[in-house]
Amino acid sequence: MIDFNKYEILTFDCYGTLIDWEGGILTALKPVFVNHNINLNDNQILELYAEFESEIEKGEFIKYKEVLREIMQKFGNRLGFTPSSFEKDCLVNSLGDWKPFPDTVEALQALKKKFKLAIISNIDDDLFALSAKHLIVKFDYVITAEQVKSYKPSLENFKFAIDKMGIAPEKILHIAQSIYHDIIPAKALGLSSVWVNRKKDKEGSGATPSATSQPDFEVPNLKTLVHIMNLDLK
DSSP assignment of 108-140 equals HHHHHTTSEEEEEESS-HHHHHHHHHHH-SPPS
Among 97, 50, 92, smallest CA distance to 75 is for 50
pLDDT score for 234: 58
Domains in the chain with CATH codes: 4-20+100-228 (3.40.50.1000), 21-96 (1.10.150.750)
Residue 3 annotated among the catalytic residues of the structure: no
Using the Cα atoms of residue 118, residue 61, residue 98 and residue 186 in order, give the sign of their dihedral. negative
pTM (global) more than 0.85: yes
Quick one: average pLDDT of 124-133?
98
pLDDT of residue 115: 97
Beta bridge partners of 215: none
Quickly state the pLDDT bin for 201 (edges 50, 70, 90). confident
pLDDT at 208: 95
**Considering 13, 20, 103, 124, which one is annotated as catalytic?**
13
